[in-house]
Structure 1
Amino acid sequence: MVTETLLLAETVASGLRALVTADDAGLRLTARRGSRTLLRIRLGVTVGGRDLAAESRFRRASTRSIAETLAPRSGKSTTPRTSTHEELTVTLADASDREWSIDVRVAADGIALRYGVPDLQGLSTLDGEATALELDGFERAWMLAYQTWYETPRSGWDIPRLSSGAYGFPALLRGPEGEHVLVTESGIDGRYSGAHALVDAAEGVLAFQQADAVTEIARGAITPWRVFVVGGIADVVESTFVDELAPAQHRSVQDAGWVRPGRAAWSWWSDFYSGAQLDAQKHFVDVAARLGWEHLLIDCGWEETWVPEIVSYASRFGIQVHLWTVWHDLDGPEKLERLARWRSWGVAGIKVDFMESESKDRYRWYDSILQETARLGMMVNFHGSVIPRGWARTWPQVIGYEAVRGSEYYVFYNDTPLTAEHNVIQPFTRNVVGGMDYTPVAFTAPGRSTSDGHELALSVAFECGITHFADSVDAYLERPLVARFLAELAPSWDETRLLAGTPDTEAIVARRSGDRWFIGGIATGPARTVEVPLDRLGEGSFDAWIVGDALTEDGRGLTETSATVDQTLTVPVSRDGGFVAILTSAGGDLFRAAPVEPVALPLVPAELVELDEDGRAEIVVPAAVSVRVAPGWRATRLQAGRWDIQAPADLLPGELGVVTVEGGPTRGVPTVTPVRAVRPLCGTAPLSSLPMLAFRNESGPVERDMSNGGGNPGDGRRMSIAGQEYDTGLGMSSPAEAHFHLGGRAEWFDGAVGIDDETPATAAAAIVEADGKVLFRVDLTAGVPAVGFRIDIAGYRTLTLRTEPYSESAAHIDWANATLTTLSYPQQSGH
């Protein structure tokens, strides 16, 4: 290297200039606007144990202009637009004469860089990089302590008080003249591991630290983009630079019209165990339809038995169903096939949780999920996840990420309440880089310090492709102003504008849908009057409907105002308060929401058919509809209204598949009716190995080969009745019922029933019914040995196990060693 500073190459876009220089301290990227220096970034990378920057020589530089069209399906702006970048590639040679490169992208609102080894032979390792932003010249930072799922609180620090340590992206810095820099990454996939910020306060730098100490690499780009969004605070908030740097929309999702942004009802936050209750989910669908929402998310506890039914029920209103799952339940090709089965029922998307890693291996898992959901036409919402790094552009089915300390911390972590300060920082940091599934609007949150106006305003101030509202739908109906606003709230945004605020005071965000502007203002600190300039929304007067704080001492209560305003909106807010508003040009229509009325489902003569000994059945459906089957099944149209269904050869006796009959759409969503196709029973089988046709259970799902446990699936223990343990059977609560298909083939139902030792001092009744007829009934008391039974069920088509409570506390009933003995051939009904 040379002792004096040597300019190697430079490029400029919209007045933002990037210069790559070398001196005795090494390589550096500098960003300037006019005469001001905005960024000084140290450069360098270590590959295969060799510091490539050491003793490197400049070879050449090239530039090119890149203009690309973006047409997002969700995000802060879904209006198609063209992004223009200038790209500078600086090629150097290390001491061994191996060439390596630094790519620099410059746009009006940012600079990004990445490293490459274009001609790498075979494989090598990325051992580290020297990329570091020099912090001198910055005054303040807003950051969060790093964890791999990004759920620590965000706070602000003056730079001299910023401690050394690991911090998560994106990190926001402010310079002395109002310029801001947001530091993050983009363009990551399974070739890389993620990175976080490592601050060295003594040296005054913010460096990029890889999650994997060593990462295997091949030729080409060896790091994702290191991104620096630069500009005034509004420039940062409105920037789409992170998405622009990501690869273009993947060829497998060129037609992404099925990606549907919107609003979702979600019951888990208000009732942890409601995901196991079909009736609860139907109620949330009913209210979502009343409010005109588009989606239902069923969280932990759902059971395959009734998912096709809730999908069908919701489809009458044009509401799509999404299912929660854990990442390791989709890890590997066999488990990943579950997605295709769920999609065959009409499930529209997944919320996948607990990834909690930035490793290259985990990013390769993300790649598999992105590819498979794109292939199937399923939306995906990542929880317990990394931050957005541009996937919403490449894979538009990604409609949200968590990666934020959101409303679940009110109910899941009661000792860590959310603060208004934490909330106000989000629009300037985390939400800049992509959809943020904070799950807002939690009026019934315990220990809440924010005002009601603040909570309602989160629905606008925070953006996510699908906004999942935290509270019970009944909590919204009990607050008529809230219900009215959430019904009007647009499902997606044409553009976003920051009207006022700073990360330390308030965030007032305007989002446009068509000819209406929705404004959400959230504040931290004492009660005050907020003056909101409207000049960025257009000229002239606006008709406005404003819902804000009632200015009570505790911040509870809302009030509404209708007014015509010119270029300033004046709103009083409570302490840690907020407000929402809808604006149109004077004389426009502010209110347009209407409840969704249900439509008819496709009619089928039978919702259950039996397969013949070859695994085939014929189903009859309306002539104009189609059918969808799970992987391994085949559906062949015979003629209008008749289909031949072929089950996979490995479908066992008693098992079933779901054939989904798809009719005409409502609100763009096909109406669906599920038909179950069952392979007839044969031989002897534990009842717990057979599918249920339906069930209802007071506490969580009916459990297989374990006690009922709590309200979550799989949370029981080994069944135990009066100290006697059992390996097989069904664990139920009281009241409960479970229905099974017999098809006239079964002869005997054997087993023993009693109250599990996990619910002492309880009592209940256990009943066995066949075709609605009571065949067996016994009263049970906790601590008493199980009652054995052998029941003749010859000729009956359905079997129902039912429990009724006798005590104030629910009893948990074990149907221990429950077994069906069946005939080889159907028996004529004799009952």
Structure 2
Amino acid sequence: MPVSRILFAPALAAALAAPSAAPSAVPSAGADIAPTSWTVPAPGAAVVADVALTAAGTITVGVRQGGATVLAPSPVGLVTGGDDLTAGLSYLGRSGRTVRQRYTMTTGKQLDRDTLQTESTFSFAAAGGTRLDLVVRVSAQGAAYRYVLPGPQSVVVKGEASSWALPPDATGWLLPYTPNYEATRIETTAAGAPAGDYGFPALFEVAGRYALLTEADLDGRYSGGRLTHAAGSGTYTVGLADAEVEVAGGFASPWRVAVVGDLAAVTASTLVDDLAPPSRLPDTGWVRPGAVAWSWMAEHASPRDPARMREYVDFAARHRWPYVLVDEGWDRSWVPELVAYARERGVGIILWFHWTALDPPAERDETLPMIRDWGVAGVKVDFMDSDSQATMRWYDGILRATADNRLMVNFHGATVPRGMARTWPHVLTFEAVRGAEQFTTRAATNTMFPFTRNVVGSMDYTPAAFLVADRDTTDAHEVATWLVFESGWQHTADRPEAYEARPQALLTMTELPTVWHETRLLSGRPGVEAVLARRHGDRWYAGGIFARAAHTYPAGLGFLGEGRFLAETLRDGPDGLLRETRVVRRTDTLAVPVAANGGFVTAFCPYTEGLTSCDRAGRARPAGTPWVSDLPFVAAAGGWGPVERDRSNGERAAGDGGPLSIRFRTFGKGLGMHADGQASVWLGGGCTRFDAHIGIDDEVPEPGTAEFRVYGDGRLLATSGRVHSWDALRSITADTTGVNVLTLRATDAGDGINFDHADWAEARLTC
């Protein structure tokens, strides 16, 4: 199914046929028209874009929020090879529509999106008759505009007048421009910033309100932008990476975006994604975010060592991390064997590439199918280091090719996100940040990222880098970056031994999701602190990072639902990391002692009598002889449809299977899953034996096969070998003494997944 859809107000359906509908009035070009102004209010009118045409024929755009000016009217327009469309323009007309969008992301701070925008298209003409359309969209989150040249002819764009005007004394948190966006952010003022170029996004505070400036919907049709600033001025103009940009007829530029509101609204904004084109993937079921064990930062030589990479795979399997990234240095002579080794343990392999290894197209057309056939899950592509139109066209090609080969993507040495992850949902993260691999971690810089870079998309900071000697952060601060910094793939930066030596840190990291259904800022100030609450499913997590002296942080809990919750907090203690628990309600305040430049993470799980930990989804270890299908899953995924409790797999919908049936014997209890599927449950070291009957369900219309495997903490405990549809009912048993996480996996037995409906009948534990 598509992951997005766009709905337009019925009364404006006539506007659907083109990016801008026909103008309402068309005076002759160059006619003597008095200066004119218009407003474009967001639904609810909290945010308003002001558009005007001056007496000199220059278009200006400004933004107000709550009645106060945030961005003063400032010139906009284009210069092409044949026309100066920045002055001497005449007004032709205006059309409008309301845009309602509902779509689902695979990554991000809010997976399910529902937005409402007002769109107005203003048509203007130059003296020579060339038409320029200015399309303005406004929502409760901010305002954006783009240019459309509706003529059929190709055009060369030589520059833009696009600009944003800020009060000279507005505080700004700016990124000196480099094409990999890895410079150190600075705190300054709009006028006091040094002359030069600054990268997107740029954040400013204007009288208690905030404006985050960036762009959206950039691809190979255009060149990447940046902000250009003259010393002493509060105006920032958009400059392009190329002196000339070739655009086709009917050209539409990227959106020039201003996210406005209080800091909480800016932090939670999805406006950049809202302005991007809908998903181009008809199916995203193969796109799976998660934790990644990454070796290169801690051990630069490790990706050349297949034995060491197997140790990283073993670590990931022990702690239920779904991926290992094999960075620069791997060799095709041993990677296929490593991929097979990892798949046996339920771990996917991500491979690093220099971007030139996937260029020209013929090279990637050979390489990507090859690694797909090996079973590789995704790629990390590095060192593009450019915002040029040629590079954007390369992105277009690699995005299509990786999608065609069902390979997920992490872009390093890359441009900043501009909505790409909505259009191409297999893009799970970007670097474009001064991350841990710079080996100079500073708390003050870290506390800027949630309000700047991370607002616009997933950020591969590579968190929890205890190995960095030149850091002023505590261990709890490092762990909390996993929660505070959003990334669909979280590539942890340290060695397995470093994490296992800090079991409290590892326990928290293992429990934290990497995607979120809801995000709220609890408190923050760039360069000082960032405290967020994030929800995944029915569970909330709160955490913060600080660039402050030691203090006690009062965390309000109004985001929780009704009832009592066990709050389990990881923080810095006098002798290292410690974990504390407390039973709370939403009306309570959680007082957390925070060390200097420290941090904390708190998990909240519904409280029942006797519950002492939120570990493994807040469940106590099982007792007696429970059915596996009666236990909550730590994790579960089917190869076709979900893992079913007490039913066969059926088809793709939940609950669509029938009674479990193997060789015409039915069972009331058990699990049904389609290969390659697996389900994990928490034993907590309290169970000694697992037993089940196994076989292919009678519901399949043609023969199927599967191999049933039982894992304990990532270690293979028992396997069935190949099981055919026609085989007699078989049993499988495993010794689970000391096992924390039991995983039941049904593979395709090496011959494809068709009709592989695997039943674990009467799956039971002795505890």
TM-score normalised per structure 1: 0.69
1:230 to 250, 260, 263: 260
Aligned to 2:436: 407
* Letter aligned with residue 182 of structure 1: L
Partners of 2:322 and 2:60 in 1: CA distance: 49
Aligned to 1:457: 480
1:315 to 319, 339, 343: 343
* 2:184 corresponds to 1:161: no
Contact 1:437 1:468 in 2 (8 A): yes
Q: Give secondary structure in 2 for the equivalent of 1:396.
A: coil
Contact 1:662 1:671 in 2 (8 A): no
Aligned to 2:602: 581
Structure 1 residues 95 and 496, CA gap change in structure 2 (3 angstroms) = same
Consecutive aligned runs of 4 or more in structure 1 exceeding 6 Å deviation:
1-4, 593-597, 639-642, 661-664, 666-669, 671-675
Partners of 1:145 and 1:138 in 2: CA distance: 19
Partners of 1:590 and 1:373 in 2: CA distance: 38
Aligned to 1:109: 141
Partners of 2:77 and 2:634 in 1: CA distance: 58
Structure 1 residues 215 and 128, CA gap change in structure 2 (3 angstroms) = same
Structure 1 residues 51 and 234, CA gap change in structure 2 (3 angstroms) = same
**Structure 1: any 5+ residue segments left out of the alignment?**
411-416, 600-623, 627-638, 643-660, 676-831
Partners of 1:69 and 1:538 in 2: CA distance: 25
Aligned to 1:88: 120
Q: Give secondary structure in 2 for the equivalent of 1:509.
A: strand
* 2:603 corresponds to 1:571: no
Aligned to 1:70: 103
Contact 2:462 2:492 in 1 (8 A): yes
Instruction: Please give the per-residue CA displacement for 1:547-599, whole angstroms capped at 9, x wherever unaligned.
Output: 111157xxxx21211112343221121211111111124438722169999x9
Structure 1 residues 120 and 595, CA gap change in structure 2 (3 angstroms) = closer
Aligned to 2:714: none
Q: Report deviation, 1:159.
A: 3.3
Q: Report deviation, 1:137.
A: 6.5
Name which one, 1 or 2, has greater alpha-carbon Rg: 1
1:197 to 213, 221, 227: 227
Aligned to 2:277: 247
Q: Report deviation, 1:203.
A: 3.4
Instruction: Please give the per-residue CA displacement for 1:40-90, whole angstroms capped at 9, x wherever unaligned.
Output: 232111112421132111001011011122110111111x23221111100
2:372 to 322, 339, 343: 343
Partners of 2:54 and 2:147 in 1: CA distance: 19
Partners of 1:377 and 1:401 in 2: CA distance: 18
2:535 to 512, 515, 518: 512
Aligned to 1:393: 422
* 2:590 corresponds to 1:562: no
* 2:92 corresponds to 1:59: yes
Structure 1 residues 662 and 360, CA gap change in structure 2 (3 angstroms) = farther
Q: Give secondary structure in 2 for the equivalent of 1:58.
A: strand
Instruction: Please give the per-residue CA displacement for 1:254-294, whole angstroms capped at 9, x wherever unaligned.
Output: 11110001001111111101101111111111111111111
* Letter aligned with residue 268 of structure 2: E
Partners of 1:81 and 1:217 in 2: CA distance: 31
Structure 1 residues 236 and 307, CA gap change in structure 2 (3 angstroms) = same
Count of residue pairs brought into register by the alignment: 604
Structure 1 residues 580 and 310, CA gap change in structure 2 (3 angstroms) = same
* Letter aligned with residue 400 of structure 1: T
Partners of 1:667 and 1:499 in 2: CA distance: 39
Aligned to 1:771: none
* 2:75 corresponds to 1:42: yes
Contact 1:193 1:215 in 2 (8 A): yes
Q: Report deviation, 1:358.
A: 0.4
2:202 to 167, 171, 175: 171
> Map of 1:762-773 to 2, 5 A cutoff?
none
Moved more, 355-364 or 490-499: 490-499
Partners of 1:4 and 1:36 in 2: CA distance: 26
Contact 1:308 1:674 in 2 (8 A): no
Partners of 2:544 and 2:566 in 1: CA distance: 18
Aligned to 1:532: 555
Structure 1 residues 538 and 494, CA gap change in structure 2 (3 angstroms) = same
Instruction: Please give the per-residue CA displacement for 1:222-261, whole angstroms capped at 9, x wherever unaligned.
Output: 42011111111011111111001000001xx111110001
Partners of 1:192 and 1:474 in 2: CA distance: 46
Contact 1:115 1:222 in 2 (8 A): yes
Contact 1:663 1:671 in 2 (8 A): no
Q: Report deviation, 1:99.
A: 1.1
* Letter aligned with residue 338 of structure 2: I
Aligned to 1:546: 569
Partners of 1:669 and 1:421 in 2: CA distance: 48
Q: Report deviation, 1:146.
A: 0.4
Partners of 2:278 and 2:471 in 1: CA distance: 42
Q: Report deviation, 1:491.
A: 3.9
Aligned to 1:18: 49
2:332 to 304, 324, 334: 304
Structure 1 residues 535 and 9, CA gap change in structure 2 (3 angstroms) = closer
Q: Report deviation, 1:537.
A: 3.6
Structure 1 residues 544 and 625, CA gap change in structure 2 (3 angstroms) = closer
Partners of 1:668 and 1:47 in 2: CA distance: 60
Aligned to 1:360: 389
Q: Report deviation, 1:479.
A: 0.7
Aligned to 2:176: 145
Aligned to 1:32: 64
1:489 to 494, 506, 512: 512
Structure 1 residues 595 and 276, CA gap change in structure 2 (3 angstroms) = farther
Contact 1:100 1:116 in 2 (8 A): yes
Moved more, 529-538 or 107-116: 529-538
Partners of 2:339 and 2:456 in 1: CA distance: 32
Q: Give secondary structure in 1 for the equivalent of 2:559.
A: helix
Instruction: Please give the per-residue CA displacement for 1:353-403, whole angstroms capped at 9, x wherever unaligned.
Output: 000000000000000110011111110000000000001100000000000
* Letter aligned with residue 114 of structure 1: R
Partners of 1:408 and 1:433 in 2: CA distance: 21
Q: Report deviation, 1:462.
A: 0.5
Structure 1 residues 241 and 537, CA gap change in structure 2 (3 angstroms) = farther
Q: Report deviation, 1:477.
A: 0.5
**Cα RMSD (Å):** 2.8
Moved more, 489-498 or 165-174: 489-498
Q: Give secondary structure in 2 for the equivalent of 1:310.
A: helix
Contact 1:544 1:564 in 2 (8 A): yes
Q: Report deviation, 1:407.
A: 1.1
Q: Give secondary structure in 1 for the equivalent of 2:540.
A: strand
Partners of 1:92 and 1:372 in 2: CA distance: 39
Q: Report deviation, 1:663.
A: 12
Structure 1 residues 525 and 330, CA gap change in structure 2 (3 angstroms) = same
Q: Report deviation, 1:481.
A: 0.3
> Map of 1:276-295 to 2, 5 A cutoff?
276-295=304-323
Structure 1 residues 131 and 317, CA gap change in structure 2 (3 angstroms) = same
* Letter aligned with residue 616 of structure 2: R
Structure 1 residues 161 and 137, CA gap change in structure 2 (3 angstroms) = closer
TM-score normalised per structure 2: 0.75
Q: Report deviation, 1:116.
A: 1.1
Structure 1 residues 227 and 363, CA gap change in structure 2 (3 angstroms) = same
Partners of 1:596 and 1:69 in 2: CA distance: 27
